[in-house]
Amino acid sequence: MGIAPVTSVKAASQDVDYIVCSLPKTDVVDSVLREDGGIFENASEGTCIVDTSTISPIAAKEFSSEAVERKMCYMDAPMSGGVMGAQNGTLTFMVGASSEEDYEKAKVVLAGMGKKFFHCGGPGTGEIAKLSNNLILGIQMIAASEGMVLGEKLGIDPKVLCDILSVSTGNCWAVSACNPRPGIIPNSPASKNYEGGFQTALMRKDLALALSCAEEVGAQTKFAEDAVDYYAHLEKKGHGGKDFGYVFQYIMKDFKV
């Protein structure tokens, strides 16, 4: 499609208008930005760095400040919508930007991947929105799994149950979009041996990051604390690469954290 691959961060960062990052955790983003041969050292003044990673909001603010010192702009723009949203180009982006002008710059490149965009506020606020979302999502998946396991063990057809849930008050993303019970949604990770979804290890990371932030501000997170134990245990058992809906299998087998 006319894109020339390169073999280093340095080469990718030089003489470009935009740099888009999507990396697994804060220290990796830090390294790519600040290391010798990294983005900050090699990008030109005026470069717009759009980081779609889910990382610490505190670190995002620091990266933004350093970018300003180098006459660049850095925006945190984490995304939501899952694997299907990525494949369909319908992701939602939560953008932390210093100004409306910077936000509009970010939207130019994000529009190639998503359909909904929110200017959450200043640097770091995109990450705050994403961590809040994933805290809810991590708990939601466990709740949906527990309810579906209960129904199936009591004897209702799981497909009938999920059809009912999808149009009832128990409906949620974990029921209707990424159902963790294999065979309910043909294209969901659960129906593909929990491959190709949002990894359990990443959900554990996001919940742990949310809990760390919650501790700093004194927010109550009892359900999230219980949820992170599930995902951490799954990761320790070697299932960190599976979609986080894999928690359904452990609940089905009467697994206890």
CA distances from 86 to 55, 82, 135, 190 (A): 19, 6, 20, 17
Question: Among all chains, which residue has been given the structure tokens 């620091």?
Answer: 62
The answer to whether 130 is a known catalytic residue is yes
Of the candidates 61, 130, 205, 242, the residue annotated as catalytic is: 130
Active site residue ranges:
130
